[in-house]
Amino acid sequence: MDSTQRRLSEYQRLITKAVTLRKESGKTMQDVADDAGIAQPNIARLEKMTHGVKVSTLLAYLDSLDCTLEIVPRNKKTRMKMPEVEQMDSLNKMTAKQFIRLVIYAQGLVAGGGIEIVPDDEE
C-alpha cells in the first residue's frame, strides 16, 4: 500500500470509528452539530468522507462525544493528548485529511504507534 492509500485508509478508519461512537451514544448528526456548535451539513460531510473538513470540525465532533484524539506510542507507556480545540488556532485552517497526514508523520516519531479516538475518561 502506498503512502497516499495508507493516509486515506487511516482517515477512513478514524472517521468510521467516530461515526460508530456517535451512533452508539444515541446521538443524531443534529445533536452532535448542536453540541459542537457546527452546522449539521458539516457533520454530514465529515461522516460521508466525500469533502474535506477542517481539523477543528473533527475535534469539535469528537469533543461532543466526550472523546479526544491521542497519539499512542507502540509501547503505550506514554500518551500525548491533542491540545484543546481553542488552543489549535494554527491548525484551524488545516483539513482533517491534512491533519491525519501530519499525525501519520508524527507516529514515526513515537516508534510506530498510531492515532486513536479515546473516550475522555480513559487515562
pLDDT in tens, 46-88: 999 887 788 888 889 999 999 988 766 655 555 555 444 444 4
Strands (E), 28-75: 67-72
pLDDT of residue 118: 75
CATH superfamily entry for domain 3-117? lambda repressor-like DNA-binding domains (1.10.260.40)
Residue 92: the pLDDT is 61
Q: How far apart are CA 104 and CA 99, in angstroms?
A: 9
Which pLDDT score is estimated for 72?
64
- Answer with the residue of higher pLDDT: 70 or 107: 70
In the chain, domain spans? 3-117
Strand arrangement, sheet containing 67-72: 80-81, 67-72, 114-119
61 Cβ contact list (under 8 Å, min separation 6)? 18, 22, 32, 36, 38, 43, 46
pTM exceeding 0.85: no
Cα dist. 89→54, 94, 109 in Å?
Answer: 11, 10, 23
Q: Which amino acid is at 26?
A: G
Cell of residue 33, nine digits: 452539530
Would the pLDDT of 108 be above 70? no
pLDDT of residue 1: 63
CB distance 87 to 56 below 8 Å: no
Rounded distance between C-alpha atoms, residue 41 and residue 11, angstroms: 19
Q: What is the reported pLDDT for 35? A: 94
Q: What is the pLDDT of residues 8-51, one digit of tens each?
A: 677 888 899 999 999 999 999 999 999 999 999 999 999 998 87
